[in-house]
Structure 1
């Protein structure tokens, strides 16, 4: 029985290993190309005084294409608006976001408002904690032109300065690179294969308007994941590219903030009665159980065959994590934390699922929203 369990662990570890190899070969940083098309860089901001100056300055430093930068001040109670106003660049506008209508989440409402003000040939939405590289706008717009994609997204390189961040944030790239078949995503129009990262996503404005843009996901919190399938169902191409050399983001400033942030997204992600047991089996077998099984085997508590299989599963799991970590520019120190990261990720998802009926709402940036949208 233990040998069979160890064999299942090895099989579950090999699945993301194979996908990661294919995906890392497919995911490349797009080459920037100079052009005359205006890129509107749109930044929704609510109480972002600690981030907004660096984010705006980096956006204004874009090269290769002309840009305008519009910051949507979503009823900030800190110095966000004053900081933006003080930068004084003619390409920069501060746009107060109107009051939040019923049935909308804050970010989606701010993004929809910003899209209505933009003049660009391309709409590049970034979160207020994202720092663009100078070639980012030129690279993403060039990729959209060459592929005909109406939506191009990337995951920025994630900064993680505390142990709590290093236990949680790496799961974004691990799940994406280890479990989304990127070559199939590009080849097949199936909406279920489409995804995007809401931190950094470029749209064709005509397709954005035709699909309803952020208005089509107005009641949801996870805009990137929701928008890409909508674009595909409307007949538009979507694409995902490597983002480590395009932008940088520090999502959270510690474990408590990371737990709250990933819990907010879990409401619309893995934390469903149908999906979470499957993901628990896949992640638990492939990345969580191999470590205790291997340690038990080394202590003489398992048959030799089970010990060998579990050790192989652990090696494959850590090698997969190492390859993804190095390719995405994340800290190498997070690699040995991988089993603990899996345990924390599953704990977040199960906590959200088990509390869903009692809580009834997700809270973010001082606002509460019905779970799963209204």
Structure 2
């Protein structure tokens, strides 16, 4: 059937990209150069439930010197008190208070900019409060950056998925990055349009970061990882996505509702554009959803098998739960629903909200 030929053709692109990216994705290891100090920087807004475990993991870092700086960004819970307790016991920990959010800035980007100013490290490692670093992570990322002369190293932590709602949303991050991005965000290319990063885990070389203007140059964005990676590349620096599963873990959201809201926020600066989203819909629905309507055609069945095999390979490499693999078609369907909902909300002028703050419907770097 002609339609089945088209579906199979659409499936070949992610198979090729995914295979190459899985084989070539770097896994940082080794010792950082002498004199390396990694500043682990944590923006925190109402993170009392997370911050202690985050600090425990960061302070267990080995292989190079670290400091941990936490910015309390207007928390109304016990975040500041918990961090103050750690700071009283360990000189490597500092608590700083975020100044008022200036006009034109988004909250996390502003906090990261102020954290960078307070840091003393040769390398700055920005993490979210729900990230748990492996003991070797900070040193290994700095070593990789130094050895490869890469200004920015990022990775997607191994995602902890504890509910069906998370299983229908979170795994799409790694699948999209590995299977639909040429070069997988590696330093093979300096094209800004092919840059990628995960805001949960970003290490930058301090001098390069300051040379490009840091977070201040992207002050109005919500998806800070991608914007920062594109900025580095546009200024002639290398950036790279590495295998983040051995470096850290993270539970992004707790259930379907928070996952939906979080991904809608980021979609506005990603796929959810009037020109891009129809193309993405054809690519994703054509390869992962359409073949189901063409059964029992043999080529449609082959396409389905290929897509499940590809998803299984990504799931194994990224350490995500195996039971999310059979949900793959629904994951793609939910991802497209999120993108179209984000585009509609933007067209209607509905503001994006996060952590108690509202931002204009459309933001640019």
Distance in 1 of aligned mates of 2:45 and 2:361: 21
Tell me the CA shift for residue 192 of structure 1: 1.2
Deviations 1:72-95 (A, max 9, x none): 000000111111111221100011
- The yes-or-no answer on 1:327 pairing with 2:325 is no
Tell me the CA shift for residue 260 of structure 1: 0.1
Deviations 1:168-218 (A, max 9, x none): 000000000001122784223211111111110001111111111111111
Distance in 2 of aligned mates of 1:327 and 1:185: 16
Q: Secondary structure at the match of 1:203?
A: strand
Residues 236-275 of structure 1: pairs in structure 2 closer than 5 A:
236-275=237-276
Deviations 1:278-336 (A, max 9, x none): 00000001111122322xx2xxxxxxxxx101000100111110000100000000100
Tell me the CA shift for residue 4 of structure 1: 1.4
Contact 2:349/2:360, CA 8 A, preserved across alignment: no
Q: Which residue of 1 aligns with 2:131?
A: 130
Contact 1:361/1:371, CA 8 A, preserved across alignment: yes
TM-score by structure 1 length? 0.94
Residues 226-305 of structure 1: pairs in structure 2 closer than 5 A:
226-294=227-295, 297=296
Moved over 4 A (4+): none
- The yes-or-no answer on 1:19 pairing with 2:17 is yes
Contact 2:39/2:119, CA 8 A, preserved across alignment: yes
Please list every run of 5 or more consecutive structure 2 residues that lacks an aligned counterpart in the other structure.
none
- The yes-or-no answer on 1:357 pairing with 2:347 is yes
Distance in 2 of aligned mates of 1:242 and 1:344: 25
Contact 2:346/2:362, CA 8 A, preserved across alignment: no
Decide whether aligned partners of structure 1 residues 360 and 56 sit closer, same or farther in structure 2, where only a CA change above 3 A counts.
Answer: same
Aligned residues: 361
Distance in 2 of aligned mates of 1:185 and 1:324: 17
Distance in 2 of aligned mates of 1:70 and 1:79: 17
| Matching residue within 274, 287, 300 for 1:310 | 300
Q: Which residue of 1 aligns with 2:191?
A: 190
Q: Which residue of 2 aligns with 1:300?
A: none
Distance in 1 of aligned mates of 2:161 and 2:44: 21
Q: Which residue of 2 aligns with 1:366?
A: 356
Distance in 1 of aligned mates of 2:143 and 2:185: 22
Distance in 1 of aligned mates of 2:298 and 2:104: 54
Bigger Cα Rg? 1
Q: Secondary structure at the match of 1:67?
A: strand
| Matching residue within 29, 32, 42 for 1:31 | 29
Contact 1:291/1:339, CA 8 A, preserved across alignment: no
Deviations 1:13-71 (A, max 9, x none): 12101111100111131113154311000000000111110001100100000000000
Residues 82-231 of structure 1: pairs in structure 2 closer than 5 A:
82-87=81-86, 88-182=89-183, 185-231=186-232
Contact 2:116/2:124, CA 8 A, preserved across alignment: yes
- The yes-or-no answer on 1:337 pairing with 2:327 is yes
